[in-house]
């Protein structure tokens, strides 16, 4: 059974940073494009970022470009989030696309339970 597990969320002040991690079981993480979604209270789930299986291609939502960086190694996928604002408050979910490449920040087939990120002073 495929599973994605996120970690690294928490409470941070505006302007602060967090690094989220995503680990997988039941499939080989390195074979697929992996991304991050987020869902804020009362809002629809939205794509944040995607990285291809090779790591050579990345995509970002306009709202996070220049502040967030997605990366991966053999074991995990990471989302480094800098200069956080209250608008970034959401549950962040790791997602897999059953393909090696990304289609922008959309087209994910399966995602985890998520980790809460709260940006507040």
Backbone angles phi, psi at 39, to 5 degrees: -140, 120
Q: What is the pLDDT of residues 63-118, one digit of tens each?
A: 999 999 999 998 999 999 999 999 999 999 999 999 999 999 999 999 999 999 99
Q: For residue 56, which of 19, 38, 37, 30 has the smallest C-alpha distance?
A: 30
The pLDDT score that the predictor gives to residue 74 is 85
The pLDDT score that the predictor gives to residue 96 is 97
- What span, in angstroms and rounded, lies between the C-alpha atoms of 54 and 117? 27
Both tokens of 103, joined, read 């289609």
The pLDDT score that the predictor gives to residue 80 is 98
Q: What is the pLDDT of residues 31-54, one digit of tens each?
A: 999 999 999 999 999 999 999 999
Burial degree of 84 (CB within 10 A; 0-12, 13-18, 19+): buried
The pLDDT score that the predictor gives to residue 26 is 94
């Amino acid at each position: 059974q495929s599973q994605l597990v996120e970690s690294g969320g928490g409470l941070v002040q505006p302007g602060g940073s967090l690094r989220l991690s995503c680990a997988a079981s039941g499939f080989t993480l390195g074979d697929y494009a992996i991304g991050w979604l987020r869902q804020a209270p009362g809002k629809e789930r939205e794509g944040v970022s995607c990285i291809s299986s090779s790591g050579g291609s990345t995509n970002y939502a306009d709202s996070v470009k220049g502040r967030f960086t997605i990366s991966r190694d053999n074991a995990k996928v990471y989302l480094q989030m800098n200069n956080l604002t209250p608008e970034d408050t959401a549950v962040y979910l790791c997602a897999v696309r059953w393909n090696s490449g990304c289609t922008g920040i959309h087209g994910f087939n399966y995602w985890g339970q998520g980790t809460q990120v709260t940006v507040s002073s």
